[in-house]
Structure 1
Amino acid sequence: MRSITSADTFPPRSHSAKRLSMLDAGARVFCGEGFAGANIDLIAVEAGVSRQTIYNHYGDKDKLFAAVVGEITERCTARAFAVLGTFPDHPADLEADLTDFAIRFIRNCVCDRDGKFLRKLIHMEGERHPELFASWRIGGPGKVWSALAARFARLAFAGFLDIDDPDVAARQFFSLIFTDLQIPSMFGEVLSDEELARSASIAVGTFLRAYGRRKAGAEQSRETALRA
């Protein structure tokens, strides 16, 4: 672990800049050292502030950790909703358009720095802080799942999909597009653009085999059989 040097004086910065610096430094240190191994002195050095500044803002390491998780969750959720704004509500080619959406979501909400930090913190500390991560689940994925479910419901109403429970469909869609990322992310690997596109294509293809509209094809086959 890096040696800790004195951090008594620093160039003046705004309150907001200091806050973000402390939270970003906390995320890096908690991810690198784990909660038990992290200490306020190291986070202060990483943030370029005094240790007293961190105590003045957050009180102790537990409260700082909660603030780090909360901040990253908010940023990840905001980014997810920005990508959801590009969802193909009126697809020209449903499979291609959903695949492009999945690629955007993976690239901007899963493979970005905040997404990696959050997954690592959950993996390392989820058991130690169950209440904190239960709150994350409701305020992060829970909100995104609900928003995606509403969009799938609209596609189903328009005749593009055959879905009984949009909430289940939304969770399964996310599970499918995350499948090939789980092991690489555990070891810090990065998927190439080609690997990412292939993973998204496979996920969407599987999703559409489960929820793609089949009624028109079935009726056409029945009409063909009757004419024969």
Structure 2
Amino acid sequence: MTELVSTIAGSSPRTHAAKRLSILDAATMVFCRDGFASASIETIAAEAGVSRQTIYNHYTDKERLFTAVVKDMTERANATLFATLAAFPERPVDLAAELVDFAAKLASNCLCNRDCIILRKLIQAEGERYPELFAPWRTLGPERAWAAIGARFAKLHHLGYLEIEDPDIAARQFQALVNADLYVGTLLGDKPTEAQIRAAATQAVNTFLKAYGKTAARH
């Protein structure tokens, strides 16, 4: 009997978490498809396979559910970014080539990532009308990414590989250059090929190093 109670008790958190994940996944799809104003809790509940009351029990109202969707996608996007930062060249032998490798991974893993694409579409569609619903993204999103990449550029500057006055600005410019040739296509549903990503990364790094590169590193 004790084992049975333990098993049931142990399964409850998993069931709760599974419902929560199902609601978030369904809400993401419905909000992206229908927009915030047109999306209904009834539709989300049907897609998630739960009752309306279950959604209200978890999130209280549609505004808090939307905010939870934005927060969840932002956190997943950040996790992908920080995993990708492992490819950033710390003490490069060939700075240009290693930055191209990193830029290609950044584009593939982040810009072309499903969560990032959906989040950008939601921001474009709803950001102006409902800016308060994107508070988690403003708090947890791009500024963390810029700071993380900027810190690595600052290290390359101190090691003598780059000449940078403001690493945070350099990080924003680097991301903008990497995204420049791919951004519109991804918004329209295109999936760039590896060759296209590589070409975009190469062009971005060439332009970036013309602004911030040094002829030789200090040792």
State the TM-score, normalized to the length of structure 1.
0.85
The 5 Å alignment of 1:120-139 reads 120-139=121-140
Output the CA distance in 2 between the equivalents of 1:14 and 1:46: 17
Structure 2: segments with no counterpart, 5+ residues: 1-11
Output the CA distance in 2 between the equivalents of 1:132 and 1:64: 10
User: Which residue in 1 is equivalent to 2:176?
Assistant: 175
Decide which moves more: 164-173 or 77-86: 77-86
The 5 Å alignment of 1:145-160 reads 145-160=146-161
User: Which residue in 1 is equivalent to 2:213?
Assistant: 212
User: What is the deviation of 1:134?
Assistant: 4.7
The 5 Å alignment of 1:1-228 reads 14-214=15-215
Output the CA distance in 2 between the equivalents of 1:94 and 1:118: 32
Contact 2:111 2:183 (8 Å CA) reproduced = no
Query: Which residue type is aligned with residue 36 of structure 1?
Result: A
User: What is the deviation of 1:16?
Assistant: 0.9
SS of residue paired to 2:192: coil
Query: Which residue type is aligned with residue 73 of structure 1?
Result: T
Encode CA deviations 1:54-82: one digit per residue, 9 max, x unaligned.
11111111111011001111111111111
Encode CA deviations 1:163-188: one digit per residue, 9 max, x unaligned.
11111101100111111122112211
Query: Which residue type is aligned with residue 26 of structure 2?
Result: A
Task: List 4+ stretches of structure 1 deviating above 4 A.
Answer: none
Structure 1: segments with no counterpart, 5+ residues: 1-11, 218-228
Count of residue pairs the alignment pairs up: 205
Query: Which residue type is aligned with residue 120 of structure 1?
Result: K
Output the CA distance in 1 between the equivalents of 2:184 and 2:110: 17
User: Which residue in 1 is equivalent to 2:6?
Assistant: none
- Provide the identity percentage: 55
Query: Which residue type is aligned with residue 203 of structure 1?
Result: A
Output the CA distance in 1 between the equivalents of 2:194 and 2:187: 19
User: What is the deviation of 1:159?
Assistant: 1.0
Query: Which residue type is aligned with residue 42 of structure 1?
Result: T
Q: CA RMSD in A?
A: 1.6
Task: Give 1 or 2 for the bigger CA radius of gyration.
Answer: 1
